[in-house]
Structure 1
């Protein structure tokens, strides 16, 4: 998960979810709603080792 501030600062292309997802954390009474999604290609590891 990344913050909306990171998405805005890096001008990443986000999209609105058709159905928002409720995100409940481990703490009692702590929950939020995820309203946007993002698809990104991520490279793990060191590219020159391939």
Structure 2
């Protein structure tokens, strides 16, 4: 089981009223926000080094 699948299963276990599709959407959106934040942070640090 991948980390993504684990997170989906944990979210469904914590909130049984969610469908699997809704849980996948939530986890995917969270991953995208984390990716954007990580990229913004790395780009911010590299501006002064150019």
Q: Considering the TM-score relative to the shorter chain, is it more than 0.5?
A: no
More helix by share: 2
Tell me the TM-score normalised to structure 1 length: 0.24
Larger RCO, structures 1/2 (Cα 8 Å, 6+ apart): 1
More strand by share: 1
